[in-house]
Amino acid sequence: MTDALTLYANLLRTMRLEDDEETAKLFHPDFEIHEDPGMPYGGEDKGGANFLKLRRKVYAAWGPKCLDLQFTTGDASGRHATGFFKLTDTRPNRKRDTIGYASLVWTFEDDLAREVYVFYYNTPHLSAALADI
């Protein structure tokens, strides 16, 4: 079994390349998404393809290069990895400067991404910024 930090690094690399075909191979067939319901695009979903769509929604909502990876960490079992991101509103037509933070907590099974939980810091503030447009 490959350690979760290596699996997460591979996932991040293929997503940055926007290589959906290669990225799709890194998701378990029963992949689950748990996006903070306080966000306009939040909720529960399934499937690696739907996670990639959600990722695009986040970039469409906040602008290009809105997520800046601060660090990753993993657990001793080798099944979990977390990415901690700074979220900056980079849209040209924004009404205010908005900065937030997001943690993505991944579980891996059989060397594939099995589920992700996405948490945001201060969702009321972030949701209000999205409503400004």
pLDDT at site 95: 75
Q: Where does the pLDDT of residue 132 fall: very low under 50, low under 70, confident under 90, or very high at 90 and above?
A: low
pTM: 0.91
Quote the number of domains for the chain. Answer: 1
- The CATH number of residue 116's host domain is 3.10.450.50
- pLDDT band with cut points at 50, 70 and 90 for residue 100: very high
- With CA atoms as reference, report the closest residue to 63 among 98, 15, 104: 98
Distance set, CA 97 to CA 66, 88, 91, 128, 132 (Å): 12, 8, 10, 12, 11
- 73 vs 97 pLDDT, higher one: 73
Q: pLDDT class for 93, splitting at 50, 70, 90? A: confident
Which domain range does residue 90 map to?
A: 4-131
